[in-house]
Structure 1
Amino acid sequence: MILEQKQAANNGRLVTTNNLLLLLLIVGGAGAQPSPGYYPSRRMRSMAFGEGYNNLWGAQHQTLSPDQKALTVWMDRSSGSGFKSKRSYRNGYFGASIKVPSGYTAGVNTAFYLSNNELYPGQHDEIDIELLGTVPGEPWTLQTNVYVHGTGDGRIIGREMRFHLWFDPTADFHHYAILWNPDQIVFLVDDVPVRRYPRGGALGTYPDRQMWVYGSIWDASDWATDGGRFKSDYRYQPFVSRYQDLKIAGCEADAPASCRPVPASPSGGLSAQQNAAMSWAQKRSMVYYYCQDYSRNHANYPEC
């Protein structure tokens, strides 16, 4: 009887454990990326580089694939490289599949972002995706950021949220995107929303002015890796990043008022499934959030 009771208890624990493992697999707790249920990258067509972009700087550090749809950029001691969209936009979906260099990459910044700095120097708006290099054995960091009316007079009012990605961004291409419309900014990684920045009630906390799309690789040794502790080491040059599957869909700055912004989902805002995927990404991978940094003056961040 005692033996049978022990066996029954063990069997019960086994069933409970199996059910728990199944639940973990379903919700992604075992490490699987959850489905967001909606895949905006699949709804936007890819474009040739020259259709949407021009070189901005470091042309000698860029090469295009024969089909003109993939761009390789690199950084060495002499220069990095950057490109810029041909047109400016007042909202839209902006995406690129990116593969970053492996090995010692401290100080290297591979960026994909929106900005109007050339129109409003010192008082610009910016929406950033930045992949920050690292030292071997440590993860790459994905930094997202929002600037509104910029960095004039030394006032740096950044709104950073950083992640250690749940995959190796050096091993393969992954799709990074910014969805910016009048209601919200959504940062997406392989269609999983990792961050939502909503329009708030306070003036000066949301970017409304036209912006261009940029990509670049550059030396951010002063801050990119462990606050600048680790610098770029050009013994490991060149540092090579690749962009492909470039996508732009949105309202150009001079589009008629009838141009409709790209929604975050068929219903407009993020769906319950997208919000669950975002919660998973933030709980699993977020390592910094400016609203939780009380060393900053929170008077600058009324949205917090």
Structure 2
Amino acid sequence: MALFLSLLLIFMFPSCNADNPPSPGYYPSSTIGSIGFNQGFRNLWGPQHQNVDQGSLKIWLDTSSGSGFKSLNSYQSGYFGTAVKLQSGYTAGVITSFYLSNNEEYPGYHDEIDIEFLGTTPDKPYVLQTNVFIRGSGDGNIIGREMRFHLWFDPTQDFHNYAILWNPSEIIFFVDDVPIRRYPRKSDATFPLRPMWVYGSIWDASSWATEGGMYKADYRYQPFIGRYSNFKLGGCTSEGPSSCNPPSGSPSGSSGLSQQQYAAMEWVQRNYKVYDYCQDPKRDHNQIPEC
């Protein structure tokens, strides 16, 4: 009887503590097949600082260069994911990233959807920064839409899956299939609609990456390494048919998330969100009307 009651309690109240988010109940990554790096990407810069082994990628930063990569195709919408393992130790000033952008197509006036891992000092956890730019980053009037998180695990110990889902109605950021942020399309002016490519990189952002630039990259600890595997590119390419259906992040196939997914996202934001641009009193809210 005791065993029966224990199992019943587990079923009724799924495990949820400060280390494990509640189950989202739906796993969009399972709907997209994995590909090797060379099947979907190419080196963009720093080729001597990139190594591909059995479909997985290692890029690194030292005093001579960092490295970046870019998808072979541009996309109008899609689910874009990769598993990442970050470097441990002193990584202040270093950014390891996975993101969507059209900055080469529209320099100074581009759109971008970011997942950025902000390096840190050994006594503090990594920060995962999500961000959305719409038509204007890089032109001297940067309007970021940052939401930052700590993670409920150590991202240096193993690979974890990170993903961006972008369709005409919303952007959803996932960590191990748990939604951590949803950015809905409230107006055309506050939502990226032009085709984008998928990028990743490791680079020195000492001026701002770690505690507002307080801690810089220290090349006594070089090389700084980012490891990527389990790439997923699923969606509508720019050259594809107009009949292509954009992906959904919910089990219903519609926009938004299921009740169980919303509960998981709320748990993450309640326990691990460390910054939200909409709640920053120093921001000019005339520039961010979606808040």
Question: TM tier, shorter chain?
Answer: over 0.9
Deviation at 1:211, TM superposition (A): 0.1
Q: Which residue of structure 1 lines up, in the alignment, with residue 99 of structure 2?
A: 113
Q: How do residues 40-189 of structure 1 correspond to structure 2 at under 5 angstroms?
A: 40-65=28-53, 67=54, 69-189=55-175
**Contact 2:115 2:128 (C-alpha < 8 Å) held by counterparts:** yes
What is the rounded CA distance, in whole Å, between the counterparts of 2:201 and 2:139 in structure 1? 25
Distance between the aligned counterparts of 1:145 and 1:277, measured in 2? 20
State the identity as a percent.
62
1:256 to partner: Cα distance: 1.4
Task: Give the Å deviation of 1:32.
Answer: 2.0
Pairing partner for 2:249 from 264, 283, 290: 264
Q: Measure, in 2, the Cα distance between the counterparts of 1:191 and 1:36.
A: 7
Deviation per CA, 1:210-246: give whole Å up to 9, x if none. 0000010000111110000000000000011100000
Question: How many residues get paired?
Answer: 282
SS of the aligned residue for 1:195 comes to strand
In the alignment, is the contact (CA less than 8 A) between 1:112 and 1:130 conserved in 2?
yes
Letter in 2 for 1:252: T
In the TM superposition, structure 1's runs of 4+ consecutive aligned residues that sit over 6 Å from their partners are 21-25
Secondary structure of the corresponding residue to residue 125 of structure 1: strand
- Partner secondary structure for residue 79 of structure 2: strand
Indicate how the Cα distance of structure 1 residues 131 and 25 shifts in structure 2: closer, same or farther if over 3 A, else same.
farther
Counterpart check, 1:224 vs 2:209: yes
Contact 1:106 / 1:224 at 8 angstroms: preserved in 2? yes
The alignment's TM-score, normalised by the length of structure 1, stands at: 0.90
Question: 1:108-166, CA deviations, whole angstroms, 9 ceiling, x for partnerless residues?
Answer: 10000000001111010000000111001101000000000022531010000000111
What SS does structure 2 have at the residue aligned with 1:143? strand
Partner of residue 266, structure 2: 279
Which amino acid is the alignment partner of residue 111 of structure 1?
Answer: S
Deviations, residues 33-89 of structure 1 (Å, cap 9, x unaligned): 211111111221111111110100001001111x2x100011001100000001100
Matched to 1:281, the amino acid is V
Counterpart in the other structure of 2:283: 296
Give the aligned partner of residue 242 of structure 1. 227
Q: Give the structure with the higher percent helix.
A: 1
Question: How far is 1:24 from its partner?
Answer: 11
- Equivalent position of 1:10 in the other structure: none
Letter in 2 for 1:57: W
CA distance in structure 2 between the partners assigned to 1:23 and 1:289 by the alignment = 34
Aligned-partner Cα distance in 1 for 2:273–2:156: 19
Find the aligned partners of 2:118 and 2:82 in 1 and give their Cα distance: 16
Matched, 1:26 2:11: no
Contact 1:25-1:32 within 8 A present in 2 as well: no
AA at the equivalent of 2:200: G
Where does structure 2 lack aligned partners over 5 or more consecutive residues? 1-5
Offset at residue 28 of structure 1 (A): 1.3
RMSD of aligned Cα (Å): 1.7
Q: Does the 8 Å contact 1:126/1:150 carry over to 2?
A: no
Identify which range, 235-244 or 21-30, moves more after superposition: 21-30
TM superposition shift of 1:25? 6.9
Q: 1:194 is matched with which residue?
A: 180
CA contact (8 A) 2:18 2:152 kept: no
Distance 1:33 1:272 in 2: 14
- Distance in 1, matches of 2:102 and 2:288, equals 21
